[in-house]
Every structure is written in C-alpha cells, then in structure tokens.
Structure 1
C-alpha cells in the first residue's frame, strides 16, 4: 500500500527518526510520562515479563526457566496503559505498553502517561520500539559495554518523543493492525509452503536411494516392507554381510606398531571451549 505524504515535514529532535509531519508536537518524555514506584504489599498480583520481541506479557504465558524469587512482595505494580522499560535491556527495545495489571521487577522502569488523551496505547508501543528510538536508548544508556548498559529514568524522561494528534494515532494503529494480520497470514502460508517443500525434498531422496534415477527400471520386491520395491538388478542384503563392527577403547600406553597421538581430558576441552596449546596433553 502506498501512503499519501503529509504536505509539510520537519526534523525530529531525535536525529535517527528523521523527518516527521510538521504539525506533530515533540516534547521531552517527562511532559508525557511520570515515573511510578508503587510496590506490591502482598506479591499476589500477576507477574509480567518484558521482552524486545513480545513487549509486556504475563509470565504465565511463557516457558520461563529463570530463577524465581521466593516472594514477590516489593515488586513494582503497574496498570494497563503503563509503559514498562527493562532498564537492563532497553538498548534492545525491551519495553512496551502493558495491557495488563500486574507486577514487574523492581529493576524495571514503570512510566504512566500524564494524560489519557496523549497516546493511543498501540501506537505508543509501536513508536517506542522502532530502530530510531532504539539508537537513542543506546546513546542515553550508561555502561561500558552493551551487556552492561542501563537506561535510567532521568535519561529516558529527558528524551524527545513525538506525539501526533490522537485521532491520527488511532488511524495509524488501525493501519498497523491490518498490516500485521496480513503479514501473519503471509508468514503462515510461507511456513506451510516450506513444510511442503521439505516433504517433497524427502520424497525425492527416498525415491533416489530406493529406486535409483531411471524411472523406467523394472522393479522387484525388496523383502523389506518399509523399503518396498527396488530395481530388479539391486540386491537387498543384511548390513552384517557388508560391514563389521569393531569396538575399541583408548589405551594410554603406546605400542610399537602404533602412531603416537596426544590425549587430553575432555574436561579441559569443555572449560577452554576449544583445544589449545595450553591444555595439559598426555603423550
């Protein structure tokens, strides 16, 4: 779908975002959001998870294997419409607008819109997870390397954020939802097509290794039910008539008629991730 351009554009305060429609206001996030630090007294609320892929979702919907605290008392409470940012993974856009009431880790940032008239939740969730804002999160995060970066509240709240008229946001949200449905349908169809191709590939392999490449060859029963017919001039023989199984171990004692090799403990290989000259080899 080709979208009609706006009549006039301006530079966004976030350079990575590029140009935005001239009538869209842009202010620091602190004008639109306030930090919330409301702690759970019981820990009975639903635990929510924040991901760069799925946004904010109930942890019960995921196969979470990480360590779970003995008590959820003291976790941060949030409500639908709150923006949740995983402080430690904001550089990967691990954030989202929650559709659920629940609790999140105390290490996360919970930001509540100052006005319900400012943002459509779906639009906001989509906006703050685009690549341009992700680059800004990286620039505003503190840490010596990516795995240690942290986006603290003061840095996020000082960041410029665009805020189109809500009517336009809702129109954009409807468009994105419609496109999302189309993409999901396309992906499902592609996956089914891929499965059919895999099945066809396996059929070609089965045909080649049990019937050969000549489609006109005369066939005979193989005598093996799951193999079926085979070319008339092929033999079906037991594997033991073609190969012998020899079991042997590793003898650390060198014999005269053998080529010497170096041996090492598998634990050393595991610890070092690879075989290096620093490993204690045995001659």
Structure 2
C-alpha cells in the first residue's frame, strides 16, 4: 500500500495529495475501480451527480473493506439542482445514492452564470456544512471573479476550486488567485486526456527520472501545489498514478512542462452550461 501525503484546506481539514476520478465510469465500472483503488491506498474518491455513478462509487467504498472514516468522498451539485432548496434536496439524494451519512467534500459543479443561482447554491452548501452533512465545501470550474462574488455575498471562502488544469492549460493566473485567497486547486483532466504525454519535455523528464510520462505530469501538478484527480479503472495505471511522490522534477523540467501550449478540452466557465 502506498502512503500519500496530504494537503491542507482553509477550514482545517486535509485531503490526500492525489485522488481517483470516476468520470465517465458506469456504476459497475466505478464499483470495481473504487474498491480496488481504496485497497491499493487511494483515500480520495471524486464523483458527481452528473456522472450518474454515485451508486456504483458507494458500492465500491462498501466493498473495499476500508473504514469509512479513512475514505474522503467528493461529489458535486449538478446544474439542474442549483438553488438553495434544490441543493439541499440534491445533497440528500447524493448521500442516499452513495450510501453515506455525510460527504467529505461537496462542490458546485459549474457556475452557470446565465442561470445565476450559484450564490444561493453556495448558501445551501454553507448550511449543509453547518448541519454536519458535509465536512468541507468548494466549487468547480469557477473564475476568480466568481469566487470573489461568493465571498462578497456570503462571507465564506470555498476550500477548493476544481478546474481543468494540465500542461497545455497550466492556469498560472488562477493558481495565483487561489493562493491569494487560501483556496486549494484540484485538477480535473490532469493528464490532458493523455494527448500531451508524447511531448518532448515530458518524455525527456520521464527518461531522466526513470518513470512514465503520466507520472511526470502528476508530479508536475504536485510540485505546483495542485491536487490532481486522474481517472483510471485499470489497476496498473491506478498504481502508477499513486506512485508519484518518490521523485522530484528539477526546476528547468518544471518550466519546460509549464510552457507547453495546448487546448482547453472542457467548457469556458463564463459560458458553459451543464444540467
């Protein structure tokens, strides 16, 4: 079993420095992948109502044999459930589907600025935390301006912002904004859909350290203070993704990887609509 370091949140909690993503697994795929990953040493599992696999994730947690107190579970409010009362009901359904009494981290999946309900949704998350149904609260795919609006209107700063982040989209400005506000950055699609792993800067660093290109990219995240959430249902790749803490990239390697130019694969937070 691999021991994973942890990263602090602004609410006093801590999260493992790498997690297991589950999109777009089915319930059956998620049940198998989550159970195996937890037995392997993963302790942070990421899902969302929108993924349609919360039941499977819950089955995997139950089948793993790992005590509930050792597993940190993240889920997200989908766009169709935004709003204060709607979010309270959505969290209840998510906990029921997962078979859990509480969530360790609950996020707003997308801001949906046209709908303009994310502040009320955030107030619901604050209430869920006060009620003990959620341990930590945060957001996903928010811009710095949207984060500031949450704080201005509620006085509560998110603990986490989970965003698309990979060597092709290093998000330097947003990382700096998070650091100023005490928000932990999580990365979805941290390997850039594996489309950048043959880039010379990554391949060269992998050769220098005797590791895989994927491990290089995940280490690059970790050394930037980012918590990556790679998705894999393959046990060998899960093990590889967890084994990134025994080497460190040199600063020139970090700089070359950060300079890789690539596309944004997901939506623009100012325009994307997810329901």
TM-score (norm 2): 0.23
Which of structures 1 and 2 has the larger relative contact order (alpha carbons within 8 angstroms, sep 6+)?
2
TM-score (norm 1): 0.22
Structure with the bigger percentage of helix: 2
Larger CA Rg, structure 1 vs 2: 1
